[in-house]
Structure formats: C-alpha cells, structure tokens
Structure 1
Amino acid sequence: MSNTRSTSDSQDSQQSSRKPHTSRKSQASQESQASQGSRLKPMEVLREARAQLAELTGMTAESVSSFEQTEEGWALEVEVLELERVPDTMSLMASYQVELDAEGQLTGYRRVRRYERGRADARGSR
C-alpha cells in the first residue's frame, strides 16, 4: 500500500510541477499577444489626444488638422475653440501641437497659432 501511495504522491507532484510550466508558456503567449494588440489604432489615438487636451486646457477640441506617427509616438495638430463670439465667424480659435507617446499618453502640447474662425491663412503661409 505504501508503494501505491508514494506512486500517486509522485504523480501528483509531477502534474503540479508541469502545470506552472504550461501556464508560463500560455502567460508568455498572452503577454506577447497583449503587446502586439496594445498597439493603438489611429482613431484611438485621436480620441485620446482630444480627450486629454480638453481635460488639461478646459477647452473643446473641434478638429484634428494634422496627424502622424513618429519614432516616439504620435504628433497631432488640434484645432480648439478658445473664445466663443457672436457671430460664430468671429470666435477665436487656436491650433495646438500635441505629442503622445506610443501608448497614447499625452507628453506635451503647445499653442502654435491663434486666429478668428472666419479668417483664412494668408497666401503662402501655413
């Protein structure tokens, strides 16, 4: 009997020592898939940038006029309503350069120009 018992104990210990090994494999596989799947899609980046900029500045992002992926993450130019006026064509707008890291977290922003909504850029400039 004691021999049978030791055999079943041995089998239990072998099975339990195998389980962590397979779970390590599946965990590594899941982490690999997560890192591949964690790459943000462009629309997710746009939403994150607008939401984070609005939270930091308290102003509503109206549109994104420039968007590109960089070595560090993402770079966008976002148009923001700074001062609402009547008529709407006289409202004061601003363009903000926004930078995000590869995970979509805002790392910096700055205002690059201000203009009235109804005004077009002068010929030859941006």
Structure 2
Amino acid sequence: MPSDDHDADGRDRPRRRRAGTYDEDERPAPRRPLSASVAARAGLQHIAELSGKTPTGVTSIERSEDGWVIGIEVIEDRRIPSSTDILGVYQVEVDMDGELVTYRRIRRYPRGQSDRG
C-alpha cells in the first residue's frame, strides 16, 4: 500500500498543501508600512495621471485603517493673471502598497480666495 509521501510505484509524490499555507522557509516577508511621504508622492502621481491636471502640493495626509487619505491641491483652470487661477482640492485614498483606492474633488475655488473660518 502506498504511503502518503509515495505513489503506487514507490516514487515521491509532490506534497499538497492548503492554499495560504507555507513552509517556514517559504513565508512571504512581512509588509513594511507605507510611509507618509511615499503615500503622498503616490497620491500626487495618481491625480496627475488620472486628471491630466497639475498638482500644486499636498494639503493634508492622514493614516486610515487600510492606507492613507491625502488632500491634494490641483490647478483646475489656468488664467492670466495666475492669481485668478481656479484651484481644486482632491481627496485621494491609497492602500498600503501605494495603489489608488478612491479619489474625488472636495472643493473648487479661485486662487486668491482665503479659507473661510
């Protein structure tokens, strides 16, 4: 009778294992958390690629349960003089790999307008 490790001819049979199980030497390396600066750069890149607009900078960043939520200011409409440009603030969420999860524009305003208190 063949053993669990050998077939009927006595040859070694490949070991089967349940999905998601690993031998000690095959375990994937633990994921390093994505830093705030790397997450911000990823958010800037995603906004530039998807919107085709020029980001001017990061306005906020906050760690979420599964990644980062980043506020990014973007030039929506260039005007002359530049003090009348229309800006937008986008909220971007990236996961711990820097991949885009969601984005949306949350505000649009003329450059010269100050924040209301």
TM-score, length basis structure 2 = 0.74
CA distance, structure 2, for counterparts of residue 63 and residue 44 of structure 1: 14
Q: Give the letter for the 2:59 counterpart.
A: S
- Equivalenced residue count is 95
Structure 2 unaligned regions, length at least 5: 1-22
Alignment of 1:1-126 (within 5 A): 25-28=24-27, 31-32=28-29, 35-37=30-32, 39-122=33-116, 124=117
Structure with greater helix share of residues: 1
Between Structure 1 and Structure 2, whose CA radius of gyration is higher?
Answer: 1
Per the alignment, in what secondary structure is the counterpart of residue 48 of structure 1?
helix
CA distance, structure 2, for counterparts of residue 121 and residue 43 of structure 1: 25
- 8 A contact 2:84–2:110 mirrored in 1: yes
Tell me by how many angstroms 1:61 deviates: 1.1
RMSD, aligned CA: 1.4
Tell me by how many angstroms 1:26 deviates: 4.3
Deviations 1:14-72 (A, max 9, x none): xxxxxxxxxx64443xx22xx243x2221111111100111011011111111010002
CA distance, structure 2, for counterparts of residue 121 and residue 87 of structure 1: 20
Aligned to 2:9: none
Per the alignment, in what secondary structure is the counterpart of residue 89 of structure 2?
strand
Identity %: 37
Per the alignment, in what secondary structure is the counterpart of residue 79 of structure 1?
strand
Per the alignment, in what secondary structure is the counterpart of residue 58 of structure 2?
strand
Structure 1 unaligned regions, length at least 5: 1-23
